[in-house]
Amino acid sequence: MAAQKRAEEPEEQPSRAAGACVLVVLAGVVVAVLFAISDALAVLVLVTAGTFALWRAARRRVSDSSATPPPEEGRPSCRECAGHELVSVTPSETQKGMLIYTSASADRPHHTHVHVVQGEVTDR
So where are the chain's domains? 15-59, 74-118
Residue ranges of the alpha helices (H) in 9-91? Answer: 16-37, 39-59
Alpha-carbon 105 to chain mean position: 34
In this prediction, residue 67 carries a pLDDT of 59
Q: CB–CB of 86/75 below 8 Å? A: yes
- pLDDT tens digits, residue range 25-81? 999 999 999 999 999 999 999 999 999 999 998 888 776 666 555 545 555 556 666
Q: CB–CB of 113/81 below 8 Å? A: yes
How far is residue 6's CA from residue 10's CA, in Å, rounded to a whole number? Answer: 8
In this prediction, residue 90 carries a pLDDT of 79
Residues 6+ apart with CB under 8 A from 75: 86, 89, 101
SS3 92: coil
